[in-house]
Amino acid sequence: MENTTDGDERRLTAVVHAAFFLLLCSSFVRYLSRDQDGARAGWGVALFAAFGVLYVLGHFLAPPPRAGTAPTTRHLTWLASVSAVWVTLLALAPSATWCAMPLLFAGLYALPPRIAVPLAAVLTTLVVVSEVRVAGGPLNPNMVVAPVAVAAVATAVFVHLQRQATRQRALIDDLVQTRRELAATERRAGVLAERQRLSTEIHDTLAQGLSSQQMLLQAAERVWETDPDAAGAHIRKAAGITSRSLAEARRFVHDLAPADLAEHSLPTALSALAERESGPGLTVAFRLDGDPHRLPEQVEAALLRIAQGALANVREHAAATRAALTLTCLDDQISLDVADNGRGFDATAAPTGADRTRGHGLPAMRIRARQSGGTLTVESTPGEGTVVSAAIPLTVQEAVS
């Protein structure tokens, strides 16, 4: 749109320049043929030449401002100079009357309406006076009415265009500002979403691994003197978790995909997870119902992370002895259920106290399910265990791919 506007302005400027020189040449020919006074003919020719040269120089040395912007001091100086030369020329050569039209255009184009309108009135008055002064015979009303009418129409049109250009520039500025604010908002939203994603990844990988290592090392410290074999088993298991956490960290840095899914399918990864989480005091079983489809990597990663987060909650908070992972594959949906026989909790109550600082697991799981287009529900009753269910719908393309 800006290129189109610039092209229109260039064409309009070219037409005005052509009209000026056409009127200037016509006025000069009329002056030489009818209006010249022998005593002052040289002054008239010099003023015509100065008028034309000054007009040309103004185009290069003092160009008019863009529509809707304030005129420069240089342009105002040029406008005053060329107007003064025209008034002087008009006194010697009434033939130069209609050269006022380009000046009228320059004044209306460059000046604010409060100045341009009075200037147009002054130029129009000088044109009428000059026409009446050289008229022979009875006064022709058109000599008075025509210049006023033409100037009034030109003034009204240019003032309207100037105000419209000002409003258009204001709208464009508002649009640009709105786009900048929208871009900034989108960037902030992207940063927040990425921050949430990274915090969820860290919670489901490194934080859980460190928590498990801490529990195992504390258990080893408690039985270090009384049962060295059990302490050694705890330390070896902590070392295994350290190795897996290191693999997760490297995968996390590389592409944020779960390390267990790099070379295995989702059922295999869930079965390995259940085996790893099983140990003294907690038995985790895995069950597969249905024929697993080939799923998008995002869905597989989300379900695996949800299973990891749910089992981390079971291990840290539920005091359960048994837990079960169940992956159910249907034609239009895949679901994962994590059930335990632990102490349970009131799922409708808001977390308080220490639970508030450690309650990142369930919100993270809900976010993962929602990002994959699914839902996550939690059913729990104090003393009766907990069931976490994630259900993700599958489109036909996902089921076939």
Burial of 186 (0-12, 13-18, 19+ CB in 10 A): exposed
What is the CATH number for 305?
Answer: 3.30.565.10
Count, in order, helices (H) and strands (E) of the chain.
13, 5
CB count, 10 Å around CB of 85?
A: 19
Of the residues 87, 109, 134, the one at which a domain ends: 134
The CA-to-CA distance between both ends of the chain, in Å, stands at 45
Q: Is 382 a member of any domain?
A: yes
Q: Is 252 a member of any domain?
A: no
pLDDT per residue as tens, the chain (401 positions): 455 556 666 787 778 778 778 888 888 887 777 766 666 777 878 888 888 888 888 878 877 776 556 778 887 888 888 888 888 888 777 777 777 776 777 666 667 777 778 878 888 888 888 777 766 667 677 777 877 887 788 778 777 777 787 788 888 888 888 888 887 777 777 667 767 766 766 666 677 777 777 888 888 888 888 888 888 888 888 888 787 777 766 666 555 556 667 677 889 989 988 988 888 788 999 999 988 777 888 888 889 889 988 988 888 888 889 999 999 998 888 999 999 998 888 877 655 544 444 446 788 888 888 888 899 999 988 888 999 999 999 873 344 34
Predicted model pTM: 0.43
> In terms of residues, how long is the chain?
401
Of the residues 134, 155, 177, the one at which a domain ends: 134
Q: Is 123 a member of any domain?
A: yes
Q: Is 168 a member of any domain?
A: no
Closest CA to 84 of 109, 117, 119, 118: 119
Closest CA to 328 of 308, 302, 303: 303
Of the residues 114, 134, 154, the one at which a domain ends: 134
Q: Is 278 a member of any domain?
A: yes
Number of domains into which the chain is organized? 2
Q: Is 206 a member of any domain?
A: no
Q: Is 81 a member of any domain?
A: yes
Q: Is 259 a member of any domain?
A: no
Q: Could you tell me the residue range of the domain that residue 121 belongs to?
A: 2-134
